[in-house]
Amino acid sequence: MTFPMATSTASTAAAASIRLLPVPATPSSRTLRFPPILRRAPRALLSVSALSKLSEASPVPIPQEPTQTLPGEDALPPRPGVYGVFDPAGDLQFLGISRNVRASIEGHRRKVPADLCASVKVAIPDEETPDKSVLTNAWKSWMEEYIAATGKAPPGNVAGNHTWIGPPQRPADLRLTPGRHVQLTVPLEQLIDRLVKENKVVAFIKGSRSAPQCGFSQRVVGILEAHGVDFASVDILDEEHNHGLRETLKTYSNWPTFPQVFVGGELVGGCDIISSMAEKGELAALFQK
Partner 1 sequence: MMGSRGTSAVLSRAARMRQKLQSSLEASALDIEDVSYQHAGHAAVKDNANETHFNIKVISPKFEGQSLVKRHRMVYDLLTDELNSGLHAISIVAKTPTESGS
Q: Which residues bind partner 1 (CB under 8 A)?
A: 213-214, 216, 254-257, 267-273, 276-277
Q: Are 46 and 39 in contact (CB under 8 A)?
A: no
Q: Could you count the other beta carbons within 10 Å of the beta carbon of residue 235?
A: 25
Smaller CB separation from partner 1, 93 or 208: 208
CB of 72 to partner 1, least distance (A): 56
Smaller CB separation from partner 1, 60 or 277: 277
Smaller CB separation from partner 1, 185 or 254: 254
C-alpha torsion sign, points 211, 212, 214, 219:
negative
Q: Could you count the other beta carbons within 10 Å of the beta carbon of residue 168?
A: 6
Smaller CB separation from partner 1, 146 or 258: 258
Smaller CB separation from partner 1, 92 or 274: 274
CB of 204 to partner 1, least distance (A): 14
Cα(204)–Cα(243) distance, integer angstroms: 13
CB of 250 to partner 1, least distance (A): 9
Please report, in angstroms and rounded to a whole number, the separation of the first and last CA atoms in the chain: 55
Cα(88)–Cα(107) distance, integer angstroms: 18
CB of 254 to partner 1, least distance (A): 6
C-alpha torsion sign, points 165, 95, 134, 147:
negative
CA neighbours within 13 Å on the CB side: how many for 281? 0
CB of 159 to partner 1, least distance (A): 32
